[in-house]
A and B are shown apart, each in its own frame.
Chain A
């Protein structure tokens, strides 16, 4: 058995969180540059401002967006690894706590009823999956809520099929309109259970913007959905234009014979996602 200390995991979460808070992913930045070349007027002005902002965030080492999000942490834990030290969830929360303090990130987590802020952006939303091997992969996705609020889960019927999936995706983006900071990145879960489907959608957002699902029929849905979304002409910030979404990524899993769950998780144009493998 390979032994890995959870202190190492805490330090890894810290590094990933610090970097993610101030950095757009390269594929996101590319997509914004491509979008800018196609726009005019207020829409071009907005995209220019966003590209300048990405640079300012790097130069000043400031959060690219003040909504430094809820900390979504995906851990793929190799089953040949023995973790030592503090419990995993404590280690992850410790990494988040230190990163949000040292990075001057906003603490955006509160009790849902009293609305009292937890003060340190914990707890992180931790998903742990046991996988083959002797490594630990950690992915950090700070998730802003302007876009999270606009996400939807549909329990479609099998009869609705592919057309139903495409309609669900386009309807979600249309209903969201200017609110989630378009151009958006759309993560879609297809299949599984009510809860599993939402997790698939979240995982889809950890993929590179513009990447395609290896399954041809799923990749086709990604491309067709992107076309339908961009035909809505909501545009950057809702100011109109050709780019309402910079990408659609779908993840798929088997589901029950009676159902067709579809989760549409909206990510704003600030795609921030970092990962690292500890071995």
Chain B
């Protein structure tokens, strides 16, 4: 299986096609509903986001607490469709792509194609396996949101499927 290290170059992003299974390693940032709302409030005030989002990958996820001896608890993807209201603007601002689960909207797919970015589907429900593939987790913003805070994760060989590719194709049967 193809192994990739994040962040992705434009060339690598363009080489991926919907339906490809790949193993991802590198840095991702978790963010879900509440964290996105706060990030948008910052953007609206022309303030900096609390993490370097340009070229970075957002993982739509909210982990379980880390047990002793582990960097992170279970940490599978959450439903990406709820973030359709946020994704296009972030992609246009330079976000490097997303990992989540389930199909995203036409607006998001167009933004991916326009910016030559990829949306990966992690396998929803495989929280233990993904949690176990996280070598390091650090809260970088909004700690009061608990599991919904932004965490920087170092991931190793995350099994994902190219869901919406940079060419406008999708793995989903609608």
The chain A residues found within 8 Å of chain B, CB to CB, are 22, 41-42, 45-46, 49-50, 52-53, 56-57, 60, 62-68, 104-108, 115, 117, 119, 146, 149, 177-181, 233-235, 237-240, 268-270
Contacts and interface: CB of A to CB of B under 8 A. Distances in A.
B27 interface: no
Contact of B73 (A104, A108, A119): A104
B102 to A, nearest CB: 4
Given A62-B132, A65-B127, A149-B79, A177 B174 contact: yes
B71 interface: no
Interface of B: 19, 21, 34, 61-67, 70, 73-76, 78-79, 81, 101-103, 121, 123-129, 131-132, 145-148, 159, 161, 171-174
A119 B146 contact: yes
Contacts, number: 150
A45 B120 CA distance: 14
17 contacts: A46-B161, A49-B126, A52-B126, A57-B127, A57-B128, A62-B70, A64-B74, A65-B126, A65-B127, A66-B74, A67-B76, A68-B74, A105-B65, A106-B147, A117-B147, A237-B123, A240-B172
Contacts of B21: 42, 45
Given A177-B103, A177-B174, A178-B102, A63 B125 contact: no
B28 to A, nearest CB: 15
B101 A181 contact: yes
Nearest to A235: B173
**Majority SS at the chain B contact face:** loop
Contact of A46 (B61, B123, B146): B123
Q: List 10 tightest A-B contacts by C-beta distance, closest first.
A: A53-B126, A57-B128, A66-B127, A181-B124, A53-B129, A66-B74, A178-B102, A63-B74, A62-B128, A49-B123
**Majority SS at the chain A contact face:** loop
Contact of A107 (B19, B123, B147, B159): B147
Contacts of B62: 66, 106, 108
Contacts of A119: 146
Contacts of A67: 76, 78, 127
A33 to B, nearest CB: 15
Contacts of B79: 146, 149, 179-180
A104 B66 contact: yes
Contacts of A269: 125
Given A66-B62, A177-B102, A107 B146 contact: yes
Given A62-B73, A234-B173, A270 B125 contact: yes
Contacts of A56: 128-129, 132
Contacts of B65: 104-106
Contacts of A149: 79
A268 B64 CA distance: 18
A148 to B, nearest CB: 11
A22 B64 CA distance: 12
Most buried by B among A41, A57, A63, A237: A237
B128 A63 contact: yes
A49 B127 CA distance: 10
Contact of B74 (A65, A107, A115, A238): A65
Given A42-B19, A57-B128, A63 B64 contact: yes
